[in-house]
């Protein structure tokens, strides 16, 4: 989809996060406390991103996951904005900004914390 098509499909907050690399306010996202079984997918294109079993409580204010649904479903890119070194997480299908990944989750099997904006996601419940 083009950016003009996405602007019509997405809410203003979703567009700002997904296409302009914005960040939603912490502790405000609709999926922060989501506990149902299912798959978190890209809000722009529906690409499967994070299975619910990899979600954990990080205390950061954003949904956090320790692994992706499938290798190749996300792109990791160096992000040196705001005078800090981080790793940006993008949807591999539509290249939308999702959030950042950090190597600070020692309590998880991978040690990773994919810190993702709720508004960049949709949730598909598994029945």
Helix, strand, or coil here: 17?
helix
Active site residues: 115
pLDDT tens-digit map of 14-63? 999 999 999 999 999 999 999 999 999 999 999 999 999 999 999 999 99
The arithmetic mean of pLDDT across residues 5-11, rounded, is 94
Q: In this structure, are residues 119 and 24 in contact, taking their beta carbons and an 8 Å threshold?
A: yes
Predicted confidence (pLDDT) per residue in 61-97, tens digit: 999 999 999 999 999 999 988 778 999 999 999 999 9
- Out of 3.40.50.720, 2.170.150.20, 2.40.10.10, 3.40.50.970, select the CATH number for domain 3-125: 2.170.150.20
Identify the helix (H) or strand (E) that includes residue 78: strand 74-79
What is the pTM (predicted TM-score) of this model? 0.94
């Amino acid at each position: 989809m083009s950016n003009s098509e996405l602007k019509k499909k997405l809410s203003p907050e979703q567009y700002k996060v997904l296409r302009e690399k914005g960040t939603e306010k912490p502790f405000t996202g609709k999926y922060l406390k989501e506990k149902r079984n299912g798959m978190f997918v890209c809000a722009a294109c529906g690409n499967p991103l994070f299975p619910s079993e990899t979600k954990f409580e990080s205390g950061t204010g954003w949904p956090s996951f320790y692994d992706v649904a499938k290798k190749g479903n996300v792109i990791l890119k160096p992000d040196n904005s705001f005078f800090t070194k981080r790793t940006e997480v993008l949807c591999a299908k539509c290249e939308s900004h999702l959030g950042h990944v950090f190597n600070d989750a020692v309590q998880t099997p991978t040690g990773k914390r994919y810190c993702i904006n709720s508004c960049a996601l949709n949730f598909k419940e598994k029945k």
